[in-house]
Every structure is written in C-alpha cells, then in structure tokens.
Copies of this chain bind each other. A is one copy, B any other.
Amino acid sequence: MSTPPSLQALINALKVLPGVGPKSAQRMAFHLVQRDPAGAVQLAQAIIDAQGRLQHCRLCNTFAETDVCEICQDEQRNHSQLCVVEMPTDLWAIEATRAFEGRYFVLMGRLSPLDGVGVNDIALRPLISRALDGEIEEVILATNFTTEGEATAYYLSELLRARGLKVSRIARGLPVGGELEHADPATLAQAVIERRDKP
C-alpha cells in the first residue's frame, strides 16, 4: 500500500514552497483535500492568475499587473530621488510611512554568495540604466541592515558613485520611542557612531 499517486504528487508539489518539509507538505495536502476543497480550488486558481497577470514594472522592477506600475506612472512624484530596496515588501513598507516621495527600484533579492546569488542574479543592470536616466540625482540605498543587505549596499554604492551619482544610505539607530537600556548593543553602538549634530 502506498500513497495514491495524485496525493503523492500534491505532497511533492507543496514541497517547492519555502520552509515546507515533507511533514508539513503532507499535513497541507491532507488539509486541502480533506478539509478545504474550496480553498484548494481557490489556491490553484490564484496561482494560475498570478502567473498570468504579474510582471515586473519596466521602470522599477516591482511586481505589477501593468507594464509600468502605479508609482512610476505618478507624475507628481519626485523624479530626482531613487530609493533602492531588496523586495516589493520593502517598497510597500516605505510607502506606508509616506516619508518618501521619490521613485523606487526593486532589486528582487540581495547579493548572497553563500546562497549562490551573485551580481547576475539580482537586477543590477536595470538599476544602473534606471539610475542613469538623466533625471536621478540621488540614489538612496534602503537594503536591509543584514550582512547581505550591507554587502549589497556597499557594492551598489561603489558602482553608482563611479558613475557620478550621489549615493546615500538610510539611517541606522534606535527606534523612535526606543529606550537605551532595551536596545541591543550593536544597534546602540551604531546609534553612537552615526550620531548627528543637534540642530
């Protein structure tokens, strides 16, 4: 007695999802087949729809259902600032703050040699041609403050400065409302090192 083929195929297919091992793939398959057939149909349909509709914005590389995304279409935004982020989620997080009125560029990843993600695996060439459009004056690097995000920022900064662009990095430090005694030592150290003149 073995697992019916179509059930085994479903379990295998679920294992392509990040963070899903054999045990959770099995649990998910049972759930879809046994408990939530309607959700299963919806999931299959959503995958097919997303595949068919999503593309990358020709200008900023984020996910969009149109050739150029809403932000890049918005003529009211500042054309001289370009904020570079790793993923669309980062773009959405910055947009939610309403603190930035320029344009974005989404790398769709970060340099991560250990995971085999090199300079050809993220959108470096499109970024460079985007940054050299003649309107951009400042590129703001908003990659994460992880080892990989920092390495990516360093690499981009060298690359873009060599082409005459002004490059900045978003600030690191204590969170707003943060208390010194609860900050982790590395963040606190950076907050001291990156101190600014009190206006």
Which residues from chain A sit less than 8 Å from chain B, CB to CB? 1-7, 9-10, 12-14, 16-20, 24, 26-34, 36-37, 39-54, 63-65, 69-71, 87-89, 91-92, 95, 108
Closest to A32 in B: B47
Interface contact A27-B19, CB-CB below 8 Å: yes
Shortest A16–chain B CB gap in Å is 4
> What 19 additional pairs, Cβ within 8 angstroms, besides A4-B53, A6-B65?
A1-B69, A1-B70, A1-B71, A4-B63, A6-B50, A6-B54, A13-B43, A13-B47, A14-B46, A17-B31, A19-B24, A19-B27, A19-B28, A30-B88, A32-B50, A33-B63, A41-B51, A44-B44, A44-B47
Shortest A195–chain B CB gap in Å is 33
Shortest A128–chain B CB gap in Å is 21
CA gap between A70 and B5 in the complex, in Å: 13
Shortest A1–chain B CB gap in Å is 5
Closest to A109 in B: B34
Chain B residues with CB under 8 A of A89: 26, 30
Number of copies: 2
CA gap between A154 and B93 in the complex, in Å: 52
Closest to A3 in B: B92
Interface SS of chain A:
helix
Interface contact A10-B92, CB-CB below 8 Å: no
Interface contact B53-A47, CB-CB below 8 Å: no
CA gap between A81 and B88 in the complex, in Å: 58
Point out which of A6, A49, A52, A91 has the most chain B C-beta atoms below 10 A from its C-beta.
A6
Chain B residues with CB under 8 A of A19: 24, 27-28
Chain B residues with CB under 8 A of A34: 108
Interface contact B50-A33, CB-CB below 8 Å: yes
Which listed residue, B14, B33, B42, B91, touches A16 by the CB 8 Å rule? B42
Interface contact B1-A46, CB-CB below 8 Å: no
